[in-house]
Amino acid sequence: MTIPFVDLYAQYLSIKPDIDAAIETTIKNSSYIGGRVVTEFEEKFAAWIGAKYCIAAGNGTDTLEILLKAYGIGAGDEVIIPSHSWVSTAETVVNVGGVPVFVDTDARLYTLNVDQIEKKINSRTKAIIPVHLFGLPAEMDRIMEIANKHNLVVIEDCAQCHGAEYKGKRTGTFGHAASFSFYPGKNLGAYGDAGCIVTNDENIAKTCRMIANHGQLKKHDHQIPGRNSRLDGLQAAILTAKLKYLDKWTDARIANAAYYNELFKDSVVVTPVIPEHSRHVFHLYVVQVNNRSQVQEALREAGIETAVHYPVPMPAMPAFKEYINGNGSYEVNEGYKDKLLSLPMFPELTHEQMQFVASKVLSIAN
Ligand SMILES: *Cc1c(COP(=O)(O)O)cnc(C)c1O
């Protein structure tokens, strides 16, 4: 038995008629850039999440950068972000001229440690970017409380948390705006790069839309210097077709995680924590084991694909060394980074596959 980390082909086969029709219609209409097919996805996604505006864009890195620009964050402005995330969260701050200020993470939740945020706030601080890492919401109540007290913008990085909830409310609706990625392996994935911004702020929505399309809202009316970060029609059609199944797929991910948890119960394997007030959507199922490289190697030999998210905390990356200067405390993240192991996780995973993965892990983990 070989078990992939994600099985996008199995997912395609399960909805083949929908996808094939979406692609065929888009080609028939030659609606490759913009137009009705993109607007339809934006409307459906906004309704699904419960936000007023959705602006589709090229990918989930561009959307973070476009949002930072739209909020006027630039030279010398400090943005508080977790030490543990995909590199986009930090590099976009640098790319607008800002300074990433790293906050350590919680040892079991993996999201940013809210107790450390206020210590990092000063007169240059402009924003906080919480990341709902692996599919678990960050502690949004306290983050919003701190942000409101200090007048900071909150941009949620929702690349890994489509459908996650915190105290009964969807992630992506707490902050001033949110950024989503539809990278193929994400919980809602395109067949290429894609992303979007959601917000209830009309002005920010308008500015983001302009930035993403050469600074124009009407053709040849370039109000500000923008860029080209549009969602193409084929990706929009595929995303609209897949959105219908997202809630069902999320339920399957949650059920799969519960089954893995049961298989690892009372073992040395440290399983994900799910606070009672949160709905974790398991973009990734991440465990901790002391002998990670041994476990990973044994699984590889058994035909099981695994991954590490992420091997290097962002403050330790050469890319950000000039921004550390004593603000890079991340002992907790540093302490668990060599134990993290992401096991196969996707909606179509079977009990038999999970039993095989778990038995291999349990036979070697210490
Ligand atoms: C995937 C991801 C992004 C970037 O998304 P792309 O669409 O790949 O550019 C940003 N932040 C986090 C936390 C991610 O996981």
pLDDT of residue 357: 98
**In three state form, how does the secondary structure of the chain look?**
CCECCCCHHHHHHHCHHHHHHHHHHHHHCCCCECCHHHHHHHHHHHHHHCCCEEEEECCCCHHHHHHHHHCCCCCCCEEEEECCCCCHHHHHHHHCCCEEEEECECCCCCCECHHHCHHHCCCCEEEECCECHHHCCCCHHHHHHHHHHHCCEEEEECCCCCCCEECCEECCCCCCEEEEECCCCCCCCCCCCCEEEEECCHHHHHHHHHHHECCECCCCCECCCCCECCCEHHHHHHHHHHHHHHHHHHHHHHHHHHHHHHHCCCCCCECCCCCCCEECCCCCEEEECCCHHHHHHHHHHCCECCECCCCCCHHHCHHHHHHCCCCCCCHHHHHHCCCEEEECCCCCCCHHHHHHHHHHHHHHCC
Question: pLDDT tens-digit profile of 32-85?
Answer: 998 999 999 999 999 999 999 999 999 999 999 999 999 999 999 999 999 999
pLDDT of residue 326: 65
Ligand 1: residue of 66, 79, 157, 345 to mutate (most ligand atoms within 8 A of CB) is 157
Cα 160 to ligand 1 centroid, rounded to whole Å: 8
Q: Which residues of the chain have pLDDT under 50?
A: none
pLDDT of residue 105: 97
pLDDT of residue 1: 77
pLDDT of residue 223: 95
pLDDT of residue 328: 60
Cα 72 to ligand 1 centroid, rounded to whole Å: 22
Ligand 1 surroundings by CB, under 6 angstroms: 59-61, 85-86, 88-89, 131, 157, 159-160, 181, 183, 193, 195
pTM value? 0.97
